[in-house]
A = this chain, B = another copy of it.
Amino acid sequence: MTQSTARFMAMKGAGYYSKATTGAKHVIDGAVPLVLDALGRMKLADDGSVFRAADMGAADGGTSIDLWRKVLRAVRIRAPSRPIEMVYTDLPRNDFAQVFRVIHGQTDIASYLPEIDNLYVFAAGTSFHNAIFPPASLHFGFSATASHYIARTPCNIPNHVHMVGATGAEREAYVAQGRADWERLLMARAQELVPGGRLCLLNFGIDEAGRYLGHTGGASMFDTFDRLWRGLVEDGMIIRQEYENTNFPQVYRTIDEFVAPLQDRTSPVYRAGLRLEHVETRVLRCPYAREFERHGDAAAFARAYIPTLRSWSEPTFEAGLAPARLAEERERILDEFYGRYQALVERTPQDHAMDYVHVHLICAKEEG
């Protein structure tokens, strides 16, 4: 992917994302106690003023619906008089119609809207690297499995498709981009949060043991992506330049990289009053691999597993293809690619699992 296309990246629309990502929903549901604790530590005057919450990088809003049901109900119970504004954000191309269809009860997902009165739902198409809200107008921010997207890819990675496989100068360039974007993201939130506001971030990252998404011992998912995509070059289906132009616009950060701007007293983020309240790492076993352990049917595993990978990875591989390729050609290449991945999973099912590795952070904006 080239730099200019990074800002157009979005998850597959029409509900494909939340249907195919049951693991992402499990991660969020597992964080409910942590998030409710953070809300519980907030002062919440029942003074009739607007309480504004945000889900940033929310895709179609399906994976977080049950978390927000609990959080918004908790707000309603503690502050019956306060209107609540709930804002879903993502990049402009995101399927926001699907967000509104989910929330307004036009899908088979049970919305929280009928359960909570005086609640107003909005969306924003502003990148979370920029200011989404006016200063001091956000009470409670949340973002799950989104902050690893960087604003632009700093360079091509010549020998891999993801920064976890990059080395030397390219690795450093991605780490630096990740650091800069993380500080921009936190600074924007530090400005937007009211004093005493909370920010809950569930981030893809690298844990104490060096584990990250799809890489928790055994084969590594991103290495598999890389090997199969490279295979299309060897078989003449794509050209070498397309392989090199294919780079996930993502950075997986270490715990130290996550907490640095929140603990270094000289950092702009710290000086803006954003403080770390809690950090922990969590590993969630791939739900499809777990199912496979139960049923042992490799073909069924492969059939279920590929759509979850495809839901978030396809836009990156598509963006790597030459702009001159026709729509049908792109579709054929991508179908072949994921078809090969599925066949590989069926042949060697034990080598595949998209275990989730998260670094959960809770931050507070200093009072007054």
How many of these chains are in the complex?
A: 2
A123: chain B residues at CB < 8 Å are: 96, 122-125
Residue of A13, A93, A100 contacting most chain B CB atoms (<10 Å): A100
Q: Does A298 contact B (CB under 8 A)?
A: no
User: Contacts A83-B134, A121-B124: A100 and B106 contacting too (C-beta < 8 A)?
Assistant: no
CB contacts (< 8 Å) of A312 on chain B: these are: none
Contact A125 B97 (CB under 8 A): yes
A103 to B96, CA, bound (A): 14
* Residue in B13, B83, B92, B100 whose CB lies within 8 Å of A104: B92
Interface residues in A, total, Cβ within 8 A: 34
Which residues of the partner chain B approach A220 to less than 8 Å between Cβ atoms? none
Q: Tell me which residues across on chain B come within 8 A of A133, comparing CB atoms.
A: 120
Scoring A13, A125, A135 by chain B CB atoms within 10 A of each residue's CB, the highest score goes to A125
Residues of A63-121 whose CB lies within 8 A of B: 83, 85, 87, 92-97, 99-101, 103-104, 106, 118, 120-121
> With A and B bound together, what is the CA distance between A75 and B57 in angstroms?
30
The CA of A137 and the CA of B126, in the complex, are separated in Å by 22
**Can you list 26 A-B pairs with a CB-CB distance of less than 8 A?**
A7-B106, A50-B134, A50-B137, A83-B134, A83-B135, A92-B100, A92-B103, A92-B104, A93-B100, A93-B101, A93-B106, A94-B97, A94-B100, A96-B96, A96-B99, A96-B123, A97-B97, A97-B125, A100-B125, A118-B134, A120-B133, A121-B124, A121-B126, A122-B122, A123-B124, A123-B125
Smallest CB gap from A96: residue in B: B96
With A and B bound together, what is the CA distance between A99 and B96 in angstroms? Answer: 10
A138 to B102, CA, bound (A): 25
Cα–Cα, bound, A16→B104 (Å): 25
A137 — which chain B residues lie within 8 A by C-beta?
50, 83
Beyond A96-B125, A104-B125, 9 extra complex contacts between A and B, CB < 8 Å: A8-B106, A87-B122, A92-B104, A92-B106, A96-B99, A96-B100, A99-B125, A100-B125, A120-B132
A185 interface residue per 8 A CB criterion: no
Flag if B121 contacts A125 (CB, 8 Å).
Answer: yes
Please report the C-alpha to C-alpha distance between residue A101 and residue B92 in the assembled complex, in whole angstroms. 5
Neighbouring B residues of A134 by C-beta, 8 Å: 50, 83, 85, 118, 120
Assembly CA distance A137 to B137 (angstroms): 13
A334 located at the interface, meaning its Cβ lies under 8 Å from any Cβ of chain B in the complex: no
